[in-house]
Amino acid sequence: MAVELQLELCVRIAVAALLSSLVGLERELQGHSAGLRTHMLVGLGAALFTVLSLFAFKEGDPGRIAAQIVTGVGFLGAGTIIQRRDRHTPHGLTTAAGIWAVSAIGMACGVGAYVLGVFSTLFVLFVLILLARISERIHAAKKGKADSGHAAQLDRR
């Protein structure tokens, strides 16, 4: 592989790492175990696998490596999901979905689709930041109704 091509591919990988780190930073600021470094490495790794599949293995089907990225990252994401015994609810689903999304962002950058990568990063951040606030309000409202219903039952006794 020519040095010029390798330098261009390094830029693709660096952009993937940068965009993935933005998602990871949000997770880090929220106190999640899979944060900045994890997301950055997943995006970087997905981009690296993608550029290798496109440029290093010309005789093969690049789609095969892409499929394996999705499978491997799915396994990694599954490791972030914990079943809480006290509430019988899963914990870590959003972080797992974020890891999955940054792998796709890394793949987009790996093929040189920077606009798609930037758009997807911004949309993931929209989901994680703005929609989280809406979700918290909905859960608080539900809890408030449940608590007031419980209080009303106690008052009747």
pLDDT digits (tens, 9 = 90+) for 82-129: 766 666 777 788 888 999 999 999 999 999 999 999 999 999 999 999
What pLDDT is recorded for position 107? Answer: 95
Note whether 50 and 66 are within 8 A (CB).
Answer: yes
Domain that holds residue 84: 3-156
Q: How does residue 136 score in pLDDT terms, banded at 50, 70 and 90?
A: confident
Measure Cα distances from 83 to 5, 46, 69, 79 in Å: 45, 27, 25, 11
What distance in Å separates the CA atoms of residue 11 and residue 16, rounded to the nearest whole number? 9
Q: Is the pTM of this model over 0.85?
A: no
The whole-number pLDDT of residue 149 equals 57
Structure tokens at 107: 């793949």
Over the stretch 14-69, which tens digit does the pLDDT of each residue have?
A: 999 999 999 999 999 998 878 899 999 999 999 999 999 988 877 878 788 888 89
> Residue 40's pLDDT is what?
95
* 78-89 pLDDT, tens digit each: 888 776 666 677
Q: How many domains is the chain partitioned into structurally?
A: 1
Whole-angstrom distance, CA of residue 52 vs CA of residue 148: 58
**pLDDT at 140 exceeding the cut of 90:** no
As a whole number of angstroms, the distance between CA 123 and CA 135 comes to 16
The helix/strand/coil state of 59 is coil
